[in-house]
Amino acid sequence: RGEEGEGPFDKYSDSEEIIEECSSISRQQIVELVASLRSQHVGDRENTELALLLARLYQALFPLTPNLVLSVRGGQKEKDSCSLAEVSALVKKEAEDMFNIWISSKLSQFSTSLFSLTSTAGSFLTSLPAWDKVTISETGDSGQEINSIISIPPSPSLPLITSLLSLASTIHRSHPSSFPQSLLSPTSINVFQTILSHYSSLSSQTLTQNFALQLLFDLHFTQTLLVSRDTKEQFSTTLSTLLSSLETNIDPFDLSVFSPHLHSRVKKAAARCVSGLGCLVPADRVAIISSYKISTTQDSHNILCVEPQPCPRFQLLPLSTACLSKVSAKAALSSAHLQLPLLAGQAAVDAKKTAAGKTDKSPAHQTAASFFGSMPWFGTNS
């Protein structure tokens, strides 16, 4: 290869300026794009799904356009590129803002749905679930044992659990694993704050004992699911005040009797709902709630309240120990009967082989065999 002569001008002399100008224009266009989309669509509160779409767009902007990354970075190295870091921070912040706008709209729908839980007499049928009946034993003044039946709420109120499941299902459909890590934790806090705010307004009213007991169950249920170790101190004062306000509507003796059964059913309900509400449950609470051991029978249902004695299902018939011994004895006898003819036949064959072996060894038999074998006429019919 011969030496190449220099041209009339250096065609690479302006390359750095061109790259820097291209980087500057790319940054400017991205900033203008973000500002334009925000001004046009953020004010549209009716179409909140568009905010989620824009958040996905900002998340995928740089991972799916590597050439755009090169253009924004310019001639700088990836680790030392201040322009790329600045634009990436802007896009990331805008994505988080879009996610927050979408989450805020869903929390507003959650609040509206939760507000259907009221203390009016007409809302009891649509708010309270079917309660469990528990038989307790007490010792009277005369020393006799008295059995009485009490009713305990086994699950949260219908407006509360419906609102929570609706919110969790909406978030699940949007793939919460792709959300920023700093988004779901504040969502759980906002949900619990909304519940506390509404239940505080209910506790200031005159409540019946059954309704106050159901609200007490709801607060323990949401506390078990949504309050993490980091936010426990934040809600401890407000929560204890609210629980005390609700307990004033319940007879102290009834409260002491109901409390053990109430807390056990709170754990059972939390363990049953932790999967459906997984995106709202803090990470440190999932492991604790999943460790709760729920004692269930073979025919019991864990979702719907059914009759105490549900209809039996088709199962394998149980066999007693005596029956099993008879069956094993019959099987042994039948196998013995099958093996006896085989053993007898095998013994006869072995006896014939032994006798034949003994006969073959005798000299007289060998001489007779050789004699009759040399006579071709022996054994033929004339």
pLDDT of residue 301: 46
Q: Mean pLDDT across the stretch 277-288?
A: 88
Instruction: State residue 137 phi and psi, 5-degree precision.
Output: -115, 135
Determine the residue type at 33.
L
Tell me the pLDDT band of 259, cut-offs 50, 70 and 90. Answer: very high
- For 179-238, the DSSP string reads S-HHHHHHHHHHHHHHHHHHHHHHHTS---HHHHHHHHHHHHHHHHHH--TTTHHHHHHH
pLDDT at 2 over 70: no
pLDDT of residue 44: 63
pLDDT at 70 over 60: yes
322: CB partners within 8 A, 6+ apart: none
Let me know if 340 is exposed, middle or buried by CB neighbors in 10 A (0-12, 13-18, 19+).
exposed
Per-residue pLDDT reduced to its tens digit, 159-203: 999 999 999 999 999 888 888 878 888 999 999 999 999 999 999
Q: Are 151 and 133 in contact (CB under 8 A)?
A: yes
Tokens of 39: 């001004």
Q: Are 216 and 262 in contact (CB under 8 A)?
A: yes
pLDDT of residue 84: 86
> Mapping DSSP to helix (H, G, I), strand (E, B) and coil, where does residue 363 land?
helix
What is the rounded CA–CA span in Å between residue 69 and residue 62? 6
pLDDT of residue 85: 87
pLDDT of residue 382: 43
Overall pTM > 0.85: no
Residue-wise over 298-322: b if at least 16 C-beta within 10 A, else e? Answer: eeeeeeeeeeeeeeeeeeeeeeeee
pLDDT at 341 over 50: yes
pLDDT of residue 357: 52
Residues facing 241 on adjacent strands: none
pLDDT at 104 over 60: yes
pLDDT at 304 over 70: no
pLDDT at 317 over 90: no
More confident site: 204 or 367: 204
Tokens of 150: 């009490």
Q: Mean pLDDT across the stretch 41-70?
A: 85
- Out of 75-79, 171-175, 346-350, 372-376, give the one with best mean pLDDT: 171-175
More confident site: 16 or 192: 192
Query: What element of type H or E holds 290?
Result: helix 283-290
